[in-house]
């Protein structure tokens, strides 16, 4: 390949495409890959971090969806309760899975049991009060503040149990059959001076904190059992301690059981569904991720400037000052090859004019003419002009000195009255060599 001589501003592009000899076959690349990676390392790390966060979010979201709803009667995962439901059915209990209060009204009978687990607090206080009046037995798992206010106003939260053993120690038959529960769950508190015979606490963790509280409905006489720890009923923990005996004792009191997990169908409708309600849950995280990627890309691309534009300076600046400023920029970014390319292009232009070649002369022609006039080997001249790549500041200075020495030697060789070194050596040995091919500008 050959490179056409151009202006000094095209220095990097000119020498990047020039071939470095038929023997070596290497190409000068400007700038190096290491320099590009060094300038963009921050944004590469930031993009990798965003990608890692997105992958973790997708995995966590997918794992939650794969686990299904907690305490669902048809969920076989560790968080579900299908094992308990199937055992109840084998014992002759008719279990109806309900997902709305309307379905509970249609399925409940005079001697039915209702199981309630409102994980997302879909029911309001009036709905909870109505639910407590529907059945003869109601089991409320992990009740929230509204549930306690609607069903048992005197009962409060007791925190996490710190007792190593939870024994029944009460008059509830289901608790006595269980004898002991898994320790460490949530508890409910009963005031010590309540004096209410219709309020019973079992599995005490302290003087006023219990893992099971039963209260009798004043209006209907139905029994409401409050169990603060939802893990007692899931597939993973149902077989531990006396959890199964307690669950079967509370839920198997009648032949009909309504397993009720409230859903969005229980929320009051005040108008048409909003866009957020109609949109799948994964849309919002994806939009947020795309916005973060767009912001990162904006910062990344904003740091890239376009090609240099020549414009007149408002003041006159000395050439030495601009040269020193550009040199400091090259030194700060370790752009040794780019700095050397600028020196090489200027040297190649001056050498072409010195040996009588025009501006459109090929690089190989300039190398051949300089080698002829100075008596140096063409490979050595090519190495100085385009071949050598500086790996350190010392090598950069050495190549700069070599360029200067080559220009000086060529200038001395082409002075009037001085014969080219190659011709002089040939005359001494009795040989003659034809002059190199030259192309002059018209």
Contact by Cβ (8 Å): 80, 70:
yes
Contact by Cβ (8 Å): 333, 406:
no
Helix, strand, coil percentages for the chain (3-state, nearest 5) = 45, 15, 40
Quick check: 352 pLDDT over 90? no
* Polymer length of the chain: 442
* Collapsed DSSP state (helix, strand, coil) of residue 315: coil
**Per-range mean pLDDT, top range of 41-45, 176-180, 295-299:** 176-180
pTM: 0.50
Radius of gyration of the chain (CA): 44
Bridge partner residues of 260 (DSSP) = 98, 116
Find the angle CA(109)-CA(114)-CA(116) to the nearest 5 degrees.
Answer: 150
- Dihedral in degrees, nearest 10, Cα atoms 30, 35, 37, 39: -120
Q: Would you kindly state where each structural domain of the chain is located, as residue ranges?
A: 82-265, 330-429
Contact by Cβ (8 Å): 60, 52:
no
Q: Model confidence over 107-142: pLDDT tens digits?
A: 998 889 999 999 999 999 999 999 999 999 999 999
Q: Name which of 188, 121, 134, 196 is nearest 161 in CA terms.
A: 188
Tokens 């687990």 label which residue? 117
Instruction: Give the phi and the psi of residue 157 in degrees, each rounded to 5.
Output: -85, 140
Contact by Cβ (8 Å): 171, 179:
no
| Beta pairing class for 113-116 and 186-189 | unpaired
Tell me the mean pLDDT in the region 11-18: 39
Tokens 């308990």 label which residue? 84
Compute the distance between CA of residue 182 and CA of residue 30 in angstroms, rounded to an integer: 69
Tokens standing for 42?
């921050």
Q: Model confidence over 64-82: pLDDT tens digits?
A: 445 678 999 999 999 999 9
**Per-range mean pLDDT, top range of 21-25, 50-54, 105-109, 424-428:** 105-109
């Amino acid at each position: 390949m050959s490179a056409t001589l151009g202006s000094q501003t095209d220095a990097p592009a000119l020498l990047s495409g020039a071939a470095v000899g038929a023997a070596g076959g290497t190409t000068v690349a400007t700038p190096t890959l290491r320099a590009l990676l060094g300038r963009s390392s921050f944004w590469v790390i930031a993009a990798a971090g965003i990608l890692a966060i997105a992958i973790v979010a997708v995995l966590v979201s997918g794992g939650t969806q794969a686990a299904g709803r907690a305490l669902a009667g048809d969920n076989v995962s560790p968080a579900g309760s299908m094992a308990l439901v199937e055992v109840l059915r084998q014992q002759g209990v008719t279990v109806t899975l309900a997902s709305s209060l309307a379905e509970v009204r249609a399925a409940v009978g005079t001697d039915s049991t209702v199981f309630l687990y409102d994980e997302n607090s879909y029911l309001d206080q009036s709905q909870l009060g109505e639910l407590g009046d529907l059945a003869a037995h109601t089991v409320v798992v992990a009740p929230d503040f509204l549930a306690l206010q609607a069903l048992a106003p005197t009962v409060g939260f007791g925190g996490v149990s710190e007792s190593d053993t939870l024994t029944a120690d009460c008059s509830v038959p289901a608790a006595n059959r269980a004898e002991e529960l898994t320790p460490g769950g949530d508890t409910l508190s009963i005031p010590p001076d309540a004096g209410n015979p219709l309020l019973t606490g079992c599995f005490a963790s302290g003087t006023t904190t219990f893992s099971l509280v039963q209260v009798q409905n004043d209006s209907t006489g139905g029994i409401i059992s409050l169990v603060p720890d939802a893990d007692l009923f899931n597939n993973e923990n149902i077989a531990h301690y006396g959890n199964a005996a307690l669950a079967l004792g509370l839920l198997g009191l009648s032949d009909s059981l309504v397993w009720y997990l409230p859903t969005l169908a229980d929320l009051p409708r005040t108008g048409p569904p909003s866009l957020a309600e109609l949109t799948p849950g994964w849309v919002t995280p994806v939009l947020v991720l795309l916005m973060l990627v767009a912001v990162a890309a904006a910062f990344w691309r904003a740091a890239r400037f376009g090609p240099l534009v020549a414009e007149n300076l408002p003041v006159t600046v000395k050439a030495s000052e601009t040269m020193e400023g550009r040199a400091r920029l090259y030194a700060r970014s370790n752009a040794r090859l780019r700095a050397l390319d600028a020196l090489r292009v200027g040297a190649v232009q001056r050498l072409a004019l010195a040996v009588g070649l025009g501006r459109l002369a090929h690089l190989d022609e300039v190398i051949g003419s300089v080698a002829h006039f100075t008596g140096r080997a063409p490979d050595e001249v090519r190495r100085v002009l385009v071949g050598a790549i500086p790996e350190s500041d010392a090598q950069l200075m050495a190549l700069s000195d070599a360029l200067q020495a080559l220009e000086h030697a060529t200038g001395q060789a082409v002075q009037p009255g001085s014969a080219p070194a190659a011709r002089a050596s040939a005359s001494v040995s009795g040989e003659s060599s034809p002059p190199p091919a030259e192309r002059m500008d018209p």
